[in-house]
Amino acid sequence: NAGVTQTPKFRVLKTGQSMTLLCAQDMNHEYMYWYRQDPGMGLRLIHYSVGEGTTAKGEVPDGYNVSRLKKQNFLLGLESAAPSQTSVYFCASSSAGDGNTGELFFGEGSRLTVL
Amino acid sequence: ELKVEQNPLFLSMQEGKNYTIYCNYSTTSDRLYWYRQDPGKSLESLFVLLSNGAVKQEGRLMASLDTKARLSTLHITAAVHDLSATYFCAVVPGPGTYKYIFGTGTRLKVLA
């Protein structure tokens, strides 16, 4: 059981380049999330999705776009990367509905460096 | 806007000692989660607290939730080196919402 899988694990970009991070989960979870983690700042929510075809902004959405075309996948895009977007990105998912604890399951993280 | 604060941010303690990490949040919530993160790794779920007065224990760690005080505690009993990690609390602000807002984390170092 793979759980939550993120690709790529590492990436180096130049300022202005674009890229997409892919998150895939095989737990049939309704909710999916993208966070960024920076030293001393914990995890900050970028965007999230409560179901296929829906997305919503989190705490720090500027400079990022997301799409959830399939229930199991949540894509995070950077259209024009900036050095301030150098970070470790985590994807997470959770299940909805009564009887579920709402516990988040995390991917292994994607380390992005923007030069 | 929900704010989640943890203290202390850094904690260095001797093996065998007890200590408590605090998680305060600014708006109504009845769901709180604790996670552990080892350096360079992902986050691992520790506790799920879903109601006022909830208490969960696993080994040397015990977590509790007081929704009226908007406070959760993570108590460490007789610390061992293996507990060295960063601990995060996360709060969901109210029913019908789906955002998980994390605290800034408490970096714990247990000295042998």
pLDDT for residue B86: 97
Sign of the torsion formed by the C-alpha atoms of B58, B60, B61 and B62 = positive
B40: Cβ contacts below 8 Å, ≥ 6 apart = none
Nearest CA-CA distance, residue B103 and chain A, Å? 6
Mutation target for A interface from B6, B33, B43: give the one with most A CBs within 10 A. Answer: B43
| Residue A96 pLDDT greater than 80, yes or no | no
pLDDT for residue A97: 65
Q: Where are the alpha helices (DSSP H) in chain A?
A: none
> Which residue stretches of chain B have pLDDT < 50?
none
For residue B50, give the nearest of A41, A43, A101 by CB distance: A101
pLDDT for residue A2: 77
Task: Compute the mean pLDDT over every residue in chain A, rounded to the nearest whole number.
Answer: 94
pLDDT for residue A99: 66
Mutation target for B interface from A88, A103, A108, A110: give the one with most B CBs within 10 A. Answer: A103
| Residue A72 pLDDT greater than 90, yes or no | yes
| Count of positions (residues) in chain A | 115
Sheet holding B19-25, edge to edge: B4-7, B19-25, B71-76, B61-66, B55-58
Percentage of chain A modeled with pLDDT above 90 = 87
